[in-house]
């Protein structure tokens, strides 16, 4: 993250063996976009060990400073992350943690004036999937995106 600067191209951020996989460009749409001041960079990376794979995604501003809108989204995701970690314990279902994360994010969007209405009704209507279509995450296993735990 420290090496990323406005004026670089996306492909200059790809590093390491196997750093480019399915969702990172292809012949018809290579990662040649010029990173501009104010852009957000998304890194999706992870290890493989003894045939088990995992990944993590992180986002950060290319210029090192969030805009107010970027900061609002970042803080919404950060609070959702913290709420899920706090709630995670034996007996708590994956789907409950997913819905908790949606509720936190929808609450932030409501406070920012982007949504109106009852948060619980939004969760029940699956509005959170519009803003988080990938779900809370995925299981760790033999494939990076192992099956299970998806509400989308």
**Cα–Cα dist 6/39, whole Å:** 8
Q: So what's the pLDDT on residue 84?
A: 96
Q: What is the pTM of this model?
A: 0.76
- Computed on alpha carbons and rounded to an integer, the radius of gyration of the chain in Å comes to 17
pLDDT-derived band at 17, boundaries 50, 70, 90: very low
**Residue in 45, 38, 43 with CA at minimum distance from that of residue 1:** 43
Burial (CB < 10 A; 0-12, 13-18, 19+), residue 8, is: middle
Confidence of residue 21 (pLDDT cuts 50, 70, 90): very low
Average pLDDT over residues 91-95: 91
Residue 141: predicted pLDDT: 76
In this model, does residue 40 exceed pLDDT 70?
yes
Domain boundaries, given as residue ranges, for the chain: 66-134+147-152
- Give the pLDDT band (50/70/90) at residue 152: low
Q: Which of 25-39, 88-102, 136-150 has the highest mean pLDDT?
A: 88-102
Distance CA 29, CA 141 (A): 29
């Amino acid at each position: 993250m420290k090496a990323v600067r406005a004026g670089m191209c996306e492909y200059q951020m790809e590093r390491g063996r196997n750093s480019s996989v399915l969702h990172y460009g292809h012949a018809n749409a290579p990662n040649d976009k010029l990173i501009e001041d104010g852009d957000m960079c998304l890194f999706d990376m992870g290890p493989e060990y003894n045939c088990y794979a995992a990944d993590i995604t992180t986002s950060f501003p290319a210029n090192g400073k969030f805009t107010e809108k970027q900061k609002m989204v970042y803080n919404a995701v950060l609070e959702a992350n913290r709420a899920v970690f706090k709630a995670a314990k034996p007996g708590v279902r994956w789907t409950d943690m997913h819905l908790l994360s949606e509720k936190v994010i929808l609450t932030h969007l409501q406070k920012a004036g982007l949504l109106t209405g009852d948060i619980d009704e939004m969760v029940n209507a699956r509005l959170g999937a519009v803003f988080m279509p990938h779900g809370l995450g995925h299981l760790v296993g033999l494939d990076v995106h192992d099956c299970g735990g998806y509400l989308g």
